[in-house]
Structures are given as C-alpha cells and as structure tokens.
Amino acid sequence: MNNEKKQNTIQERQQREKELILAQLRKMPIVSIACEKAGVGRTTYARWRSEDDEFRKVADEAMHEGDDLLNDMTETQLMNLIKNQKPHFGAIRYRLSRCHPKYADKLQLLGSISIKDERLTPEQEAVVREALKMVAPSEQITAYEPDESD
C-alpha cells in the first residue's frame, strides 16, 4: 500500500515536471533552457522522450510552437528595424534565414536536358552482352533486336 502511494506521488511529480517543461518549450524551444527553468535534468528529459511516445510527440509540438513564437517575434523585430533603423540587423537576418522557411536561402537550378537516340556500336553491344552474362543466367537474357522503326 505504501509503495503504491509512493509510485503515485512520483508519477504526479513527473507529470507536473513534464507540464513545466512543455510550457517552457512553448516559450523558448531550447531544451537546455526549458529543463533548467523547469528544474529537470536534460538526461531526465531525454529518458522521458525515449520511454514515453506521447510525451515525445507533445514535446515536439511544443518546440514547434516555440519556434513559431520566436519567428513571429523576430519578424516583429525586423519590422521595427525597418521602421526605426535600429541595429542588430545581422542577428535578425540570421534567425530568419535559419529558422523560417519564408526567409531561408534558396537555390535556383536552371538547365536543359537533351536526349540523343544513338545505336550502340557492335563493340558496345558485345560489352553489354558480356556484362549481362555475368549477372544473369543465359536463359533469362533475351536478345533485343531493333526493328526498322526504332
């Protein structure tokens, strides 16, 4: 009976601590800071994530909410910078380019593809046939005989 009461007390405490960490992650999605403010060690947090799938899922969601909050705050700072010409543009730009898809560096690829339809030379055909013989039994290899329309 006493052991059961102790287990319930531990579970209740852990649940409170998990709630504290989740609240902190929603404000600041940095695990070490959230753990410090909640009074829980990082190893405990990591253990909870590995042992409790539901907690891991909710913690990931809380971190996404925290990222969204930081992105919104950063965009607000950017707007203030534009309006008031305040410093720290580099820090704002860094945060937006690394953490917000709208402002991420983008790579543009341009090019063209051309297809040349050429026949194999007799030497190339011989090499291909030899390679096929090495990887497949001879009864599985069927010869390709192009017709006149190819």
pLDDT digits (tens, 9 = 90+) for 60-100: 999 999 999 998 888 888 777 767 766 677 777 777 787 77
pLDDT band at 26 (very low <50, low <70, confident <90, very high): very high
pLDDT, average across residues 100-120: 82
Tell me the residue ranges of DSSP E strands in 12-143: none
38, with CB counted inside 10 A (0-12, 13-18, 19+), is buried
User: What one-letter code names the amino acid at 127?
Assistant: V
pLDDT band at 145 (very low <50, low <70, confident <90, very high): low
pLDDT, average across residues 23-34: 94
Whether the predicted model's global pTM rises above the 0.85 cut: no
Residue 94 vs residues 53, 74, 85: alpha-carbon distances, Å: 33, 10, 17
Which one is predicted more confidently, 78 or 12? Answer: 12
32, with CB counted inside 10 A (0-12, 13-18, 19+), is exposed
2-27 and 31-38 helices, crossing angle to 10°: 130
